[in-house]
Structure 1
Amino acid sequence: MASASKRLLITGIESFTGHYVRDLFETHGYEVYGTVFSGAKRDKIYPCDITNSDAINAVISEVRPDIVIHLAAITFVPDGDSSAIYDVNLFATLNLLDALLKHHSSVSKVILPSTSNVYGNIALESISENECPQPLSHYALSKYAMEQMGRNYFTQLPIILTRPFNYTGVGQAEQFIVPKIVAHFRAKKRILELGNIDIYRDFSDVRDVAQAYLILAESSLSSEVINIASNTIYSLREIITIAEKASGHHLDIVTNPAFVRANEILRLGGDNTRLRNLGWSPVFEIEETIAWMVTP
């Protein structure tokens, strides 16, 4: 168990992932601080527009964290404001790293989540970190640019770049595919409109992802890229079948051409060997995760 004096700063602490990371680290004795985009300052929670360098400098100067997990990002791919994606995912990360160098270069770990989407349409079902990224969207490009920028700080800060594959759980917004599917089953809807349901993804449970961040934060690793993945892929068709079984409800699937993406990645699964070598392994099977979401 970590010392109670060890300070963790989570940017985007009230995000879907942030809630689970905060709770897990607190149970392990960490003193957890966080940033949110707006609102009033609360106990250990700082309103902070991370695209504003003065704002993030003030937070780092005051908190002086031992560990930083940078979850604040634009994560929903269809967001139409391309400039905002780069402002938040790339330039705000630059602000954070510069603030750490200026005010607290003795930080022991900085975890910068990227995304598995940087791999693009690589024709492999289990993609390792050694594969050359081929990003296909502004979201993926913004994260890959963030990775490359972050590498420039490897000699100055103990950075780990993570590439999480798809993950889900209770509390994820319904704009994401698995919560959307689950919500329709929970509401006993008759019809569900989707795009291509024969795409395959590597789905993890958010609780396993939080555990991965704890292991990485407490590891001696730095200047590395790490996949966070289950190493198993499922089609959306299979996810629908699992949700149907968990809910006891049947609905009809209707293909809506508006939901079919032009650059859709057909199969995306991650090799998690590096993470497993640190002692991590997924606890939750996809059937358990979906059952948890259907009847939380």
Structure 2
Amino acid sequence: MRVFITGATGFAGSHLVDLLVARGHKVLALVHEATSHQGLPANERVQPIEGDLLDADGLIKAVALARPDLIFHLAGQAYPARSWLDPALTIAVNTGGTANLLRAAVAYGRPRVVVVTSAEIYGPISAEDLPLTEDTIPNPRHPYGVSKLAAGELARLYWERYELPVMEARPFNHIGPRQAAGFVVPDFASQLAAIRLGQADPLIRVGNLSPERDFTDVRDVAEAYWHLAERGRPGEAYLICSGHSISIQYLLDTLIDLSHVSVEVVTDERRVNPVDVPCLYGSYVKLEKDTNWRPQIPLRQSLADSLDDWEERLRSD
């Protein structure tokens, strides 16, 4: 099968490429020189195609060149906080880029498409409204959430108007090897790896530790994308999550235990952000019912692999 992917050099995208290559598929990866900073794997089954989500006509040509049986759309501006710095660009890339990709899919011949949005569309949720489901009313609280909500709505409209068989994936937090700094697990893991290697003093700086969030291994998330491509119902949205919440304190304690080092934990006021939602988690009942997907990789394994990944990165620096 020929598979066209945007965002193939990103965190989840790189794991999806690994999955597809391992199963014998041909991967056609959209790369944009200005933003695709990580490389693609050196494999004959992986072919880069130059393109830009904001160049509608160029994207049509890229999709036509790829001749895909299937499309995964993962590319975009992925940081909610950064969306406040340039909200117009975030909406242009995440919403406009999705519109251009869907248009290109229709122009090519309507292959199956999985559009990845985010559980960030929901915003603040009260405890009585948990777990989140696909029927929970979105209430985004930043331009990133708005951009992803609109991208999901476009997916539904393209199914209704053009019968493009497109599914929307709404992942919660995903963790594992290759995750960039700026998220809670890599921030903890990178500090602990440096301590374990003797590159830093035995002190770890943290922000809020009480919030509880839903974490899924990135490799399980990639598997969920594939399940959706195979068995998802066009025009539908699906939550991808673990189905339960884990405190940030538990993540830190587990990573410290895995690192086998003694550390002093210090609260860094620069890392402390206001928390408007103490607890947040979702339900994957719909995804499991339609595709038979459920998470497989234990949290402790995800954290151990993240820690090992950061130690390897720091050794090679």
Asked if TM exceeds 0.5, the reply is yes
8 Å Cα contact 2:169-2:225 kept in structure 1: no
Candidates 172, 179, 186, aligned match of 2:179: 172
C-alpha distance 77-192 of structure 1, shift in aligned 2 (>3 A):
farther
Residue equivalent to 1:106: 110
Structure 1 residue 138 corresponds to structure 2 residue 143: yes
Candidates 151, 159, 166, aligned match of 2:156: 151
Residue equivalent to 2:314: none
Structure 1 residue 70 corresponds to structure 2 residue 73: yes
C-alpha distance 245-218 of structure 1, shift in aligned 2 (>3 A):
same
- In structure 1, runs of 5+ residues without a counterpart are 1-5
Q: CA deviation at 1:263?
A: 6.1
- For 2:275 and 2:88, how far apart are their aligned partners in 1? 20
Q: CA deviation at 1:208?
A: 0.4
Q: After alignment, is 172-181 or 146-155 more displaced? A: 146-155
Residue equivalent to 2:294: 281
One-letter amino acid matched to 1:65? P
With structure 1 as the length reference, what TM-score do the two structures score?
Answer: 0.92
- For 1:90 and 1:272, how far apart are their aligned partners in 2? 25
8 Å Cα contact 2:205-2:268 kept in structure 1: yes
Secondary structure of 2:135's partner?
Answer: coil
Q: Which has the higher helix share?
A: 2
8 Å Cα contact 2:212-2:278 kept in structure 1: yes
8 Å Cα contact 1:200-1:233 kept in structure 2: yes
Number of aligned residues: 289
- For 1:253 and 1:36, how far apart are their aligned partners in 2? 40
Residue equivalent to 1:128: 133
8 Å Cα contact 2:121-2:146 kept in structure 1: yes
8 Å Cα contact 2:50-2:62 kept in structure 1: no
Q: CA deviation at 1:44?
A: 1.7
Secondary structure of 1:153's partner?
Answer: helix
Q: CA deviation at 1:99?
A: 1.4
Candidates 61, 65, 73, aligned match of 1:58: 61
Q: 5 Å matches for 1:19-34? A: 19-34=14-29
Q: CA deviation at 1:275?
A: 1.5
C-alpha offsets along residues 102-158 of structure 1, whole Å, 9 cap, x if unaligned? 2x1331x11111111111111244211111011111111110111122221112211
Q: 5 Å matches for 1:187-266? A: 187-188=194-195, 189=200, 190-219=202-231, 221-262=233-274, 264-266=276-278
8 Å Cα contact 1:125-1:233 kept in structure 2: no
Secondary structure of 1:69's partner?
Answer: strand
Q: CA deviation at 1:289?
A: 0.6
- For 1:262 and 1:51, how far apart are their aligned partners in 2? 34
Give the aligned CA root-mean-square deviation in angstroms: 1.9
Residue equivalent to 2:313: none
Residue equivalent to 1:116: 119
Structure 1 residue 290 corresponds to structure 2 residue 294: no
- In structure 2, runs of 5+ residues without a counterpart are 41-45, 310-317
Candidates 156, 161, 164, aligned match of 2:168: 161
8 Å Cα contact 1:12-1:37 kept in structure 2: no
- For 1:160 and 1:148, how far apart are their aligned partners in 2? 11
Q: CA deviation at 1:253?
A: 3.0
